[in-house]
Amino acid sequence: MVFSYYHRLDARRRRLYEASDAVLDLPLTRPEELRRRTRQLESSLASGRQAAVARDAQALTDAVCQDFRVPSVRVEVLERRPARAGSELHGLYEYSPPGQASARRRILVWMYTARLGKVVAFRTFLRTLIHEVCHHLDVTLLRFPESLHTEGFYARESALVRRLLGEEESPPAGRTARARPSAPPRKD
C-alpha cells in the first residue's frame, strides 16, 4: 500500500519512499531503561511543570538516540500548540538536509492543547515526541536524505511507542533495521 501523494513524487523520491516503506521496525537494545525514562516523562507531564517535562523529554530522546548510536537531537517543549483553521500542530522536526553547511537539528513539541489550554494526554504527547524522533532516526540511522510519511514510517513509530510503554516485547513480523544501510538511496 502507498499513500496517495506517492504518485506525485519524482523518481528519486519514489525510491526514497519505497526504501522507507520497506523498514517496519527498529528494535531496541535496552528497552527496560527506556521504559523507566518513559514512566518518568509520564509523571512529569502529569505535574504540568514545563521544565520537568522538557528535562524528561530530552532524557528519553537522548536515551533512544544512544540506544541506536546516533547523534542526539535537541528537544524543546513549548507551551500552547499553534492552531490553524481547526487543526493543531503537535510536533515538528527541523533539520538541515545533507550537504548544507549547518547540520542543525531540533524537535519541537507542545504540552498544552491550543483550544482549551489543557495538558496533552500522555499517550498523545509520547506518540508526538517519538514521531519526531523517528524523523531524526530516518536521517541519522537509516541515512535517508529526507524523512517521508510512509506506512513503514508509521509502523516504526508505533512499534517504538509500544515498546516504550511495555506493550510489545518482540518485533513485529517484517523487515527490521538495526545498523545503518550500506548506502543511502541513489539520487538522480
Tell me the DSSP string of 13-60: HHHHHHHHHH--B---S-HHHHHHHHHHHHHHHHHT-HHHHHHHHHHH
* pLDDT at position 181: 44
pLDDT at 45: 96
List helix spans (H) across 48-165: 50-68, 122-140, 151-164
Residue 172 lies in a domain: no
Give kind and range of the element (H or E) at residue 11: helix 11-22
Report the number of distinct structural domains present in the chain.
Answer: 1
Encoded amino acid at 136, one letter: H
pLDDT tens, residue by residue, 22-50: 999 999 999 999 999 999 999 999 999 99
- Sites in the chain below the pLDDT cut of 50: 171-172, 178-188
pLDDT tens figures, 43-64: 999 999 999 999 999 999 999 9
- State the helix-helix crossing angle for 11-22 and 151-164, rounded to 10 degrees: 30
Task: Please say whether the dihedral angle defined by the alpha carbons of residues 162, 65, 92 and 185, taken in this order, is positive or negative.
Answer: negative
**Is there a domain that residue 187 lies in?**
no
Does the residue 133 lie in any domain?
A: yes
Residue 63 included in any domain:
yes
Q: What is the pLDDT of residue 46?
A: 96
For residue 128, give every residue at least 6 positions away whose Cβ sits within 8 Å of its Cβ, in sequence order, or none. Answer: 90, 91, 109, 120
pLDDT of 2 reads 72
> How far is residue 131 from each of residues 74, 85, 100, 163, measured CA to CA in Å?
15, 23, 24, 14
Please check whether residue 7 lies inside any domain of the structure: no
User: For residue 7, what pLDDT is reported?
Assistant: 83
**pTM value?**
0.83
* Residue 170: partners with Cβ closer than 8 Å, 6 or more residues away: none
Residue 117 domain-assigned?
A: yes
- Domain range enclosing 92: 30-164
| In a domain? residue 25 | no
Query: Residue 4 falls within a domain, yes or no?
Result: no
Q: What's the Cα-to-Cα distance from 91 to each of 27, 133, 172, rounded to whole Å? A: 23, 10, 26
